[in-house]
Amino acid sequence: MASTTSYKDRNLIAVIGDEDSITGLLLAGIGHVGDNQKKNFLVVDSKTPVATIESSFQDYTERNDIAILLINQHIAEKIRPTIDKYNQAFPALVEIPSKDHPYGAFISFFQLIVSSLPILS
């Protein structure tokens, strides 16, 4: 088991998300560009190749300065097999909703409630 001192330099939050999510988080102060011009965020739109998303995910999960990796849930679905294989404690992986894509757990709950209601005729 690794000692906790190996995690002392993990002080950044990385984000893979849509433009609105990234903008809000950057305004909150999480943006960082290192000396080697490596950013801790990736803006994903409909034209972003899945390979780019997977590459950034691999890069962020292998970096020693990232403690938490946030990813929009609808983007995580694009690389679900890679996400499901990830089992490390650091960086912690957190899927977040976006403005245009509600959180999946809420949708599942809502569908369950609606499907259990009797149809009124």
According to the model, what pLDDT value does residue 77 have?
92
Q: Is the distance from CB of 72 to CB of 20 less than 8 angstroms?
A: no
Q: What is the pLDDT of residues 69-102, one digit of tens each?
A: 999 999 999 999 999 999 999 999 999 988 776 6
Going along the chain from its start, the domains and CATH numbers come out as 4-116 (3.40.50.10580)
So what's the pLDDT on residue 99?
79
Mean pLDDT across the chain, nearest whole number?
Answer: 86
Q: What is the DSSP string of 62-97?
A: H-SSEEEEEEEHHHHGGGHHHHHH---SSSEEEEE-
